[in-house]
Structure 1
């Protein structure tokens, strides 16, 4: 994964920028026309698989199959419950229920969704505790798959809950949530976002995501190279 980041940073610095449309979904989108999304230009989708250590998204399997049949590059995401169980335990649960990765060229590394939930803004953890929790999840995922997970967050959460940590810059691609006309501020020392969730409304369901690169860069991310 580090080679993907280095190559992408080089392209970014050289001013070579493109964009690939994608989207992310969960059971809240009970029916998705993946073929129509592909025809419209979408090339990837990130699908909710798990949450904590006890919740399985009931639409994950059918969504994943539908995305695959439509020719989309697809991946899974885990909604984190930091502090409620260990990072290792949640990584294992994610991996056991759809969050795995293989270098088949059509599977994105799993994504760790980090945001506020009803447990409170930072799940009762200190900033150092949160960084340690994320690292535990990330390292376990890497040890099992050979790639690091994508990290989904927004600047306000990352600053409040990790102290704006830059501990993941060289390992984990950033998925930035910001509903606006531009990505804006990039937290945590990342030089740019790998994927930008730019809207909470996408024509074919879920949220709109933009990959920061061309289709070859997206395929490289899926290959883990």
Structure 2
């Protein structure tokens, strides 16, 4: 029946003196504001866990205004994938109205279901710490986090040294993109390193603007690790505002809701001891945590907190990278790692 329909369509077009069609294209762009100085992630704990709740504008409206001057940049494409900001995303809301957002259904995308080889760690440390019986070296799956400060990385060699996963610095605030992100994102995948992206949160920007900026620059790859929000104090930042605990939790929730809705993966929270003690102790119980603890085990620094990743050193040394690199470990065995990847993705 479909074959017979073709001549009818052709005749109809000829009788109208020709068929024409117009294609329209849509482009999406998202601007972004103030920046904060690039900082490395620091963490210290790991155990597959889900999340909790709670963001807000600054008292100075000018601080919240977009800082981008000039033509609006267009979305970037990485690894053959274009990022978009076209999905309906939640906006900032009062604390009482916040609920963990459930990701929209995402059409099935072909993904790599094979189990990558796990390399034993061969890292050294410029400032080694004796963690005793709870040494991170007793855990099976090690990894790194990187940014522009690691320069041109030999990813293939880094992987064989024990970098089974890598979190790559992507964005700060609402208008800063790490200049090495695109290169590191591409080369890490080519080397077979399981990779994810992280965002350094800037407290003088709205959470929605920062989420949009991250989404514009980080591809939606079903094989990537869950996105990370890095929340900590930064004495070198131009943003000197100290928000209330409730305000901090609210802004974080707005940011994480948007990312979860877009990527279909619950974000991981990276933090350091002082910020955690002031703002996150007892909060976000349904979210996985990545904890910085470079002198003691996370159980001593963050009592009662489950964790998925532990950043145990900021002075790692390894082949494939000139200078120092942050070292991390997954909380579990090789089997736990593969199971967590299946659940997280």
TM range (shorter): 0.7 to 0.9
> Normalized per residue, which structure has more helix?
1
Deviations 1:21-57 (A, max 9, x none): 1000000011212212221222000000000001000
Distance in 2, matches of 1:58 and 1:26, equals: 9
Alpha-carbon offset, residue 188 of structure 1: 8.2
The two structures have a TM-score, normalised by structure 2, of 0.54
Contact 1:151/1:174 (<8 A) preserved: yes
Q: Equivalent of 2:330, from 187, 211, 215?
A: 211
- Structure 2 alignment gaps of length 5 or more: 1-47, 51-137
1:42 aligns with 2:163: yes
1:183 alignment counterpart: 298
1:146 aligns with 2:264: yes
Q: Equivalent of 2:205, from 85, 90, 99?
A: 85
RMSD: 2.5
- Structure 1 alignment gaps of length 5 or more: 7-16
Matches within 5 A, 1:84-163: 84-98=204-218, 100-104=219-223, 107-117=224-234, 118-119=236-237, 123-160=241-278, 162=279
Residues 120 and 184 (structure 1), Cα distance of their counterparts in 2 relative to 1, 3 Å cut? farther
Residues 221 and 103 (structure 1), Cα distance of their counterparts in 2 relative to 1, 3 Å cut? farther
1:169 alignment counterpart: 285
Residues 55 and 155 (structure 1), Cα distance of their counterparts in 2 relative to 1, 3 Å cut? same
Residues 32 and 97 (structure 1), Cα distance of their counterparts in 2 relative to 1, 3 Å cut? same
Deviations 1:52-83 (A, max 9, x none): 0010000011111111111110001101102x
Distance in 1, matches of 2:337 and 2:169, equals: 19
1:52 alignment counterpart: 173
Contact 2:202/2:239 (<8 A) preserved: no
The two structures have a TM-score, normalised by structure 1, of 0.81
Contact 2:49/2:289 (<8 A) preserved: no
What is the number of equivalent residue pairs in this alignment?
Answer: 205
Alpha-carbon offset, residue 18 of structure 1: 3.9
Larger RCO (CA within 8 A; separation ≥ 6): 2
Distance in 1, matches of 2:271 and 2:139, equals: 22
1:26 aligns with 2:144: no
